[in-house]
Structure 1
Amino acid sequence: MLETEKEKVKVKRAKESLSERKKDMLSGYLYISPFFIIFGIIGLYPALFSLYLAFQRWNGLGDMEFVGLRNFSIILQDPLFWKSLYNTVIMGLMGTAPQLIVGLILAYLLNLTFLRFRNVFRVAIFMPYVTSMVAVALVFGVFFSSNETALANYTLGLFGMDPVNWRTSEWGVKIAISVMVFWRWLGYNTIIYLAGMQSVPKDVYEAATIDGANKIQQFFYVTIPLLKPFILLTVFFSTVGAMQLFSEPTVFLGNTAFTRSEGLTVVMYLYRDAFRLSSFGTASATAIILVLIIVIVSAINLLLTNRMGRSRGNRG
């Protein structure tokens, strides 16, 4: 009898313990539920609805009509889509690749112990990132004005070059927008690299100095390999940002941004279909294609960056 009673007490305690665990789990899920609810409403639902719309014909008001893969066929046969993809890739390479390299160098310089007024330089280099796009548009609108006296054309004149119509010429538009992207996002990547460099123990540099490595060798064979996670992060973010380029060309070109092809990007092409032509089906199909392109390009970039880091580490 005593053993039976003891078993009953054990079972009862086990059930109470289990119920307490369930209460703790439930309270934990309740605490984190706001994030998932907001994500589901703002993020997941629009993504799933866009995937559904990619196979429909819909103008935003009337009834939807299932068209299968026709929207994708229309986009892939549209020369303007391929032109927008070409513009996106070219301006992405011109605007983001240099900023990653220059940002790495600037971060190394800002991390030097003997540099005076380091905090002032750090704030100054981060200022473009927090600057309003309206102010950026005004500044670069004056800088890349088509007048011969504009700063960009005046600088070209000093080297004996003819002035460029930056807002209408094919490469003038691309260069101007790429410079805007470079100027605006350089400080963001620099701060990330600087944070990574400050996490590297000073003992590593002291050991490299004792082994006879100079500053340049330390940069290539100590700093860069240890910054690999930060480099992968910036490469990924820069790739995604470059493929989603929208604000800079739209602000720089103004009212003509969606009527000309020199600076048209994939996201602008998507926006034009949805909100100017009321073709939400093709716009959603463009979004799906863009997601696939971003995934492929990001995977290639990460793979190349990984291989470069390994080969550099092996040589070191």
Structure 2
Amino acid sequence: MIKKFLYSQKVAPYVFVLPFILVFLVFWVLPLGSSFGMSFQKIQLGQEADWIGLANYEKLMGDGIFLKAVMNSAIYMLLTLLILIPFPMLFAVLINNKFMWGREFFKSSFFFPALTSVVVAGTIFRLMFGEMEGSLINSILGWFGVEPVKFLKGQVTGFIALVALATWRWTGVNMLYFLSGLKNIPDDYYEAASIDGASAFQKFTKITMPLLKPTTIYVITISIYAGLAMFIESMMLWNGNNSPKNIGLTIVGYLYRQGIEKNNLGYAAAVGIVLLAITMIINLTQLKLSGMFKKED
């Protein structure tokens, strides 16, 4: 009876999706619901939770440090989008060219940084962008007569180091996404365009970019989330969660500060809910503008 039930054509689809549904409920819906409830309470370890309503959210809106963290995360997200979308796409197109030599070498070289631990990468970049004259970047600047720069003590220079780390780590990953998308574009389209006299630029703008739209939207979506959720890179670059004047503080960093360092779990939960709301609003907006929610004819 049970075997007949499981092998039923009506039941089988639900059996296959059941593991995903269970994982989704246990590791996403339940924690989200719990966090949402916590955000309306004052919770500290060792003390009884108190219901305080919207007090945590009202406090957030007037919290200058939180607003600074939101601005830092937004700037970081925008900068990484401006770099980690067009350049990986360009590199993917170049490597995918049939006349390109050593393509496997370049694929491996670009992807290798993603295999490096973020702790190791952050430590290396902290040393590279150190304020001492002998640090790598300052040594290079010294060749051009530029005085040593205290990169990690300034807002602009700090973001240069942070974005450089992100670019080094994630360019190869996004490039592989675009390479997989390029594999789905038939060569016949390019051959027909060549017969019609289309230039390489015209092929890229009229064939490659439109047909890469689904891949591009996917990369943008995950890049928005990654940009707003960035934390470990900043923590390793500044060797802690307390950068000078909070120039490297992110939303997740502020959540960690409130929840772990200050034992203010209810307030930290409110920060997490706001982060989720910001991420969802931005992603749903860009998906709407890109036409992903339009009904197909």
Aligned to 2:295: none
* Change in 2 beyond 3 A, CA 1:27/1:109: closer
The structure 2 residue matched to 1:83, chosen from 53, 63, 68, is 68
- Find the counterpart in structure 2 of residue 210 from structure 1: 195
Which SS does the other structure have where 1:255 is aligned? coil
3-state SS in 2 of match to 1:167? helix
Are 2:131 and 2:148, in contact at CA under 8 Å, matched by a contact in 1? yes
1:116 corresponds in structure 2 to: 101
**1:54 aligned partner, one-letter code:** S
Q: Which SS does the other structure have where 2:151 is aligned? A: coil
Equivalent in 238, 247, 265 of residue 250 of structure 2 = 265
Identity %: 30
One-letter amino acid matched to 2:216 = I
Report the Cα distance in structure 2 between the residues aligned to 1:140 and 1:108, rounded to whole angstroms: 29
Match of 2:182 in 1: 197
Q: CA deviation at 1:115?
A: 0.9
CA shift for structure 1 position 89: 1.0
Deviation of the 1:75 alpha carbon: 0.8
Relative distance call for 1:162 and 1:194 in structure 2 (3 A) is same
Q: CA RMSD in A?
A: 2.2
* Aligned positions of 1:236-275 closer than 5 A: 236-257=221-242, 260-275=245-260
**For 2:148, which of 144, 159, 163 is the aligned residue?**
163
| 2: CA distance, partners of 1:89 / 1:137 | 20
Query: In the aligned structure 2, how far is the partner of 1:23 from the partner of 1:147?
Result: 69
Answer with 150-159 or 227-236: which moved more.
Answer: 150-159
Instruction: Please give the residue correspondences for 1:29-48 in structure 2 after superposition, counting only pairs within 5 Å.
Output: 29-30=14-15, 32-48=17-33
Counterpart amino acid of 2:80? G
Cα pair 2:126 2:238 within 8 Å, conserved: no
Counterpart in 2 of 1:8? Answer: none
1:26–1:299 CA distance, 2 compared to 1 (3 A):
closer
**TM-score (ref. length: structure 1):** 0.85
For residue 32 of structure 1, report the CA deviation from its aligned partner: 4.4
How far apart are residue 156 of structure 1 and its match?
Answer: 2.6
Conserved 8 A contact 2:42-2:266: yes
Tell me the amino acid that sits aligned with residue 41 of structure 1.
V
Q: 2:38, 2:62 → 1: CA distance?
A: 19
Partner of 2:286: 301
Describe the SS at the equivalent of 2:153: coil
Write the mapping of 1:66-77 to structure 2, written as runs, cut at 5 A. 66-77=51-62
- Aligned residues of 1:96 and 1:182 also touching (Cα < 8 A): no
Provide the C-alpha distance between the structure 1 equivalents of 2:11 and 2:96, rounded to a whole number of angstroms: 47
Assess if the C-alpha contact under 8 Å between 2:241 and 2:249 holds in 1: no
- Is contact 1:249–1:257 with CA below 8 Å preserved after alignment? no
TM superposition shift of 1:303: 4.3
- Paired residues of 2:228 and 2:251 also in contact (CA < 8 A): yes
Matched with 1:3 is none
Q: 1:250 & 1:173 partners in 2: Cα distance?
A: 12
Tell me by how many angstroms 1:128 deviates: 1.1
2:119 alignment partner in structure 1: 134
Aligned residues of 2:153 and 2:244 also touching (Cα < 8 A): no
Give the Cα separation in 2 of the matches to 1:93 and 1:42.
29
Q: Distance in 1 between matches of 2:95 and 2:27?
A: 39
| Maintained 8 Å contact 1:258/1:268 | no
Name the aligned partner's letter for residue 247 of structure 1: I
Q: CA deviation at 1:28?
A: 5.8
